[in-house]
Chains A and B, each alone.
Chain A
Amino acid sequence: MNARKTDFRLVLNLVGAVCVALSAPAFAQESEEMAKLTKPESSITGGGTYVSGDKRDRARFGQYNGMRDGNNYGNFDFDYTKRDEATGLWTILQGRDLLLDTRELNFSQQLQGNWKITGEYNSIVRNYPNTINTALQGIGTNNLTVTRTAPGTGNDVDLKTKREGIGFSGEKWLSSMWQFETSFKTENKTGARIFGRAQPCNATASTTANGYACAAATAVTVPASAATSGATGGAILLLPQPINYTMNNFDAKLNYHDDKLVVSAAYYGSWFSV
C-alpha cells in the first residue's frame, strides 16, 4: 500500500510538472489574447452593394449616400491605429467609403498631453431629389441658353452639388496651463441648384419678348385688370443655377486654465469666393 502511495505522489508531481511545461505556449497565447483585448487594433473592411430600381426610385435614398446613379457599388474602409507604448505617440489613419463619391480620409498624430496634428479630406455629394424639366440648354458649359418652349416640353435634369474639403488642425500644450490650438479648412462647392422664375404666358410666344406659349393645363389665368403686355397667364420656368464657391475658415486660439480662471484669446477668419 505504501509503495502504491509513493508511486501515486510521483505521478502527481510528474503530471503537475508536465502541465506547467505545457502551459508555456498557453501563456504565450494568453498574452496574445490579452493584447487583443487591451491594445489598439487596425482593420480593413471591403464590401459590395446592389441597389435596386432606377435613379429616380432612389431619389430620397441616394440623396446623400453617393448611391443614386448606378446599381452596383463597392465599398472599402480602413482604420490604421498605432500606439507607441514607449512614448505614447498615437498615429491614426482612417478611410471611409473610399469607392464612393462620398469618400473621406482622416489622419491624426498625437503625443498625448503634448501636441496633436490632424488632416482631413471629405467629400459630400447632394443629389437634388426632384427631377426638373427645364428649357435651359448647355448645362455644364459656359454657353447657357434658354429655348422658349412650352412648360413641360424641355429636358429632364437631375441636379447635384458636391462639396470637397480639406482641413488641418494643430494643438500644442505649452505648459500644463497654456494651450494653443489652430485649424484651417477650405471647401469647394460645385454643381447646380434649382433656380427659376415665374413667367407670364403669351398667346403668341414668338412675337413677344417675355412670352412663353403655355399649355392650358399649366397656365394660370391672369385677370384682365392685371394682364399687362399681352400676358394671358403665368407659368414657372425652372432653371439650374451653376454653383462654384470656395469657403475658407481659419481659427487660432490661445487658452489659459487654472483652478479658478479660464481665458481664451482667439482669432477667427473666414473667406468666401465665387
Chain B
Amino acid sequence: MRLTSSGRRIAGSLFFLVFLGLWTSVLPSAYAADTSAPGAATASSKDIVLRGDAVCTSCHDEGDGPELLAIGKTKHGTKADQRTPTCISCHGESDKHVKNPGGAKKRLAPDVTFAARFNNKTSANEQTGACLTCHKADSKRSHWEGSIHQTRDVACSACHTVHAAKDKVLAKKTQFEVCFTCHKEQRAQFNRPSRHPILEGKVSCSDCHNAHGTVGPKLMKRDSVVETCFQCHMEKRGPFVRPHEPVTEDCGTCHSPHGTTVENMLKARPPFLCNECHSPHGAAMPQLTNQSAPPALFSGKTGVNYTQGRGCVNCHTEVHGSNNPTSRGPNPQFLLR
C-alpha cells in the first residue's frame, strides 16, 4: 500500500504520539521516586539548583561544571529559606556574559566574579559587598569594616568556597590549610615540636581568632590575648595572692602559641627567657662560660644557678602566680611553691 504525502505525515505523527503518550505515563513515576530533589522540585521552571538559575544553568549544567551545582548542597541552596540567593544576587545581571552580543568566541566574564582564574577585575570590596548584602547582619561579622583582612583587601572568597558542599575553612580538620595559604610563618611554627593540636584538627584557628574582625588585638575572639587564652587555660587566670604581671598583660610575652622548639610553647628556654627581664642568680652562668661549676665569686643564691631540667621553673614552679600567703621561706613572693 502506498501512502499519500499527507497520510505519511499522519502515520508518522501517530507513531510519535503513541510513544510520547507511553513516555509521559512512565516519566511521572520516575520523577516521583525523587520528588525531594531540588532539581525535580523546579522541573517546570527548568531551574536546577537555585531559584531563577535557568538562565545560568542552561549552559553551566552538570556537563559544563558539576562542581558549581554543589551550591545546592549548602545553606545557600536551601530554597525553603526565601532569603537565599540566586546566581544573579552574587554575580550580577551579567547581560553581556549571557547574551554575548558581539558573538565573541570567548565570552565576557560575569559582572561580579570571585575566582582568580577570571583575572579578576572585581575588587575585593565589591566581592565582599556581594556577601555582606546578606551577611553583615550577624554579630560575628560586625567588626569586618576596619579589620586587618578588610583593609588588606582579603575578599570572602579568598577563604570561603561558596560552591563546595563542604567549605574547608568551616571544618576544624581542614581550616588550617586555608589559613596557612597566606600565614606561612604560622604554618612553619605549627610544625615545631611544642604547639597546639591544630594539625590534628583538635583546635582550630577560629578557636582563638575571629577572622572577620574583633575589638581585640590580633583578631582575638575575646577582648585581649589573655582573655582568649584563659578560656581554656583558666587555672592561670588567678587572681593570685602573688601574681606574675605578664600573666595579666599578655601571654605572648613568654609563649608563642603557634609553636616553638621549647617545651610549653615558650619563646626561649629558661633561664634565658627569664633572664630577659630578671637578673640571673649570680653574675654568670657556668654553662655560658663553658665551665662545669660556678666560679667562687659568682655563686648565686643558694648555689643553684644551673640550667638543668626546667631551668628557673625547677624552683619557681608557680610562675603564673601563687596563692601561698606566707611571707616566710621558701619565699612565695618569688613564686616558689
| Residue ranges of A at the interface with B (Cβ–Cβ < 8 Å) | 2-3, 6, 9-10, 12-14, 16-18, 20-21, 23-25, 27-28, 31-35, 37-41, 60, 63-65, 83-88, 90, 96, 102, 104, 112-113, 122, 124, 126, 129-130, 163, 176-177, 179, 181, 187, 194-198, 200, 220-228, 231, 234-236, 238, 245, 247, 249, 253, 255, 257, 262, 264, 270, 272, 274
Contact = CB atoms under 8 A, between A and B. Distances in A.
Contacts of A12: 12
Contacts of B292: 220-221
A3 B7 CA distance: 13
Contact of B31 (A31, A249, A257): A31
B303 A38 contact: no
Nearest to A194: B310
Contacts of B315: 197-198
B302 A226 contact: yes
Contact of B23 (A24, A163, A231): A24
Interface in B91-142: 136-139, 142
Contact of B165 (A40, A126, A249, A257): A40
29 contacts: A10-B12, A13-B12, A13-B15, A24-B23, A24-B30, A28-B27, A31-B30, A31-B31, A31-B39, A32-B37, A34-B37, A37-B72, A64-B200, A65-B197, A85-B36, A88-B78, A112-B83, A126-B197, A163-B232, A196-B310, A197-B337, A220-B308, A222-B304, A226-B302, A228-B303, A234-B303, A257-B138, A270-B230, A270-B234
Contact of A38 (B69, B139, B230, B231): B69
Contacts, number: 227
A239 to B, nearest CB: 10
Nearest to B194: A129
B200 A102 contact: yes
B162 to A, nearest CB: 14
Contact of A28 (B30, B66, B200): B30
Nearest to B25: A24
Interface of B: 2-3, 8, 11-13, 15-16, 18-20, 22-23, 26-27, 30-31, 33-34, 36-41, 48-49, 62, 66, 69-70, 72-73, 75, 77-81, 83-84, 136-139, 142, 165, 173, 193, 197, 199-203, 230-232, 234-235, 237, 263, 286, 292-296, 299-300, 302-304, 306, 308-310, 314-315, 317, 337
Contacts of B11: 10
A264 B202 CA distance: 30
A116 to B, nearest CB: 11
Nearest to B140: A181
B78 A83 contact: yes
A113 B78 CA distance: 11
Contacts of A181: 139
B27 A27 contact: yes
Nearest to A123: B202
A62 B303 CA distance: 39
A198 B304 CA distance: 7
Contacts of A40: 73, 165
Contact of B139 (A124, A235, A253): A253
Contacts of A220: 286, 292-293, 306, 308
A202 to B, nearest CB: 13
Contacts of A24: 23, 26-27, 30
